Amino acid sequence: MPQLAPIVLFTFNRISETRATVNALRKNFLAKESDLFIFSDGPKFLDDKKVAGVHNFIDTISGFKSVTIIKSSVNKGLASSIIEGVSEILKTYDSVIVLEDDLISSPNFLDFMNQALEFYRNNPMVFSISGYTMDLPGLKNNKKDYYLGYRASSWGWGTWADRWTKVDWDSNEFKPLSWKEKRNFRKGGNDLPRMLNNQLKKKIDSWAIRWVYHQFKIGGLTVFPKSSKILSVGFGDDATHTKKTRRFDTVLDNGKRIHFEFDDELILNPKLLKDFRNKFSIWSRIKDRIW
């Protein structure tokens, strides 16, 4: 069996969500064979008891092949934490599986991720693997274990060192998009050009939009599972970057299957691309606000 990709978990100050994330991950079939690296961000205030509580909890984690904990004494923020943490791990490993502290995984999450990472290892057109998928109408008739999309996901994902290291994290290669480029970028969601513009103007500090933009620029694709291996619970009061929404509700896989099939030929499903794009449409957002 090929070497399993290490799991990299990022935590901050949400003890309940972190416990749930770790407990679900520990139930994965491949947990005991996987190395876990935990990057825990530092407090924004010196007496932050929530951060201290998370730091104390992660010291007790077991159930994996190994557990390595890296605690920050200063607050780096999510973007810097993920960019620096993933980059550090990929100096040693050639692939990685990444989670944040608010994601519940199905027992076969690591199976799907490792098999996809191994299958597409030498296909540069596949830029990332997602463990999460939205509940798309077209998936009911999808006979494959996966589908392809234009947009990278930040909810339980994986990639390879040779893809990650090519991203310009300093945004030096970013520039305002032309009308044609905006139209093509919107294939992954109408919100993407606006997010990119806010990143350029430093109104936001998002590692994800830089990741998505680079994938778009080189024409890369993301592999998504037919049934979601990830469920987000990150909509509480302590959530920094998420707001309550129903657009991304999904059904967590029962986790019974442990073998998945993929294809060398990269064929995009027009119906699923449309369903995916509709989740980010103005009408979809209006319905969310009404709800």
Span 221-231, pLDDT tens digits: 999 999 999 99
Tell me the backbone φ, ψ of residue 215, rounded to 5 degrees: -60, -40
- CA atoms within 13 A of residue 191's CA, in its CB half-sphere: 14
Residue 204 sits in a domain whose CATH number is 3.90.550.10
For residues 116 and 235, the answer to whether their CB atoms sit within 8 Å is no
Q: Considering the domain boundaries, does residue 252 fall inside one?
A: yes
Give the separation between CA 238 and CA 56, rounded to whole angstroms: 18
Q: Say if residue 153's pLDDT is above 60.
A: yes
Q: Considering the domain boundaries, does residue 247 fall inside one?
A: yes
Residue-level pLDDT at 284? 59
Distances (CA, A) of 201 to 92, 93, 176, 190, 205: 34, 34, 10, 18, 10
Residue-level pLDDT at 132? 98
Q: Considering the domain boundaries, does residue 202 fall inside one?
A: yes
Total domains present in the chain: 1
Residue-level pLDDT at 173? 66
Give the separation between CA 248 and CA 215, rounded to whole angstroms: 22
> Domain of 30?
7-290
Q: Which two tokens stand for residue 104?
A: 């519940």
Q: Considering the domain boundaries, does residue 101 fall inside one?
A: yes
**Pairing status of strand 95-100 against strand 157-160:** antiparallel
Those residues whose C-beta lies under 8 Å from the C-beta of residue 94, and which sit 6 or more positions away, are 121, 160, 161, 162
Give the separation between CA 220 and CA 203, rounded to whole angstroms: 26
Q: Considering the domain boundaries, does residue 97 fall inside one?
A: yes
Give pairs for 122-125: CB < 8 Å, separation 24+. Answer: 123/264, 123/266, 124/162, 124/163, 124/220, 125/219, 125/220, 125/221, 125/266
Residue 103, strand partner residues: 232
Per cent of the chain over pLDDT 90 is: 83
Q: Considering the domain boundaries, does residue 1 fall inside one?
A: no
Residue-level pLDDT at 289? 63
- Per-residue confidence at 48, pLDDT binned at 50, 70, 90? confident
Hunting for tokens 């201290």 — which residue is that?
52
Q: Which two tokens stand for residue 19?
A: 């416990």
Q: Considering the domain boundaries, does residue 2 fall inside one?
A: no
Residue-level pLDDT at 250? 93
- Average pLDDT in the chain: 92
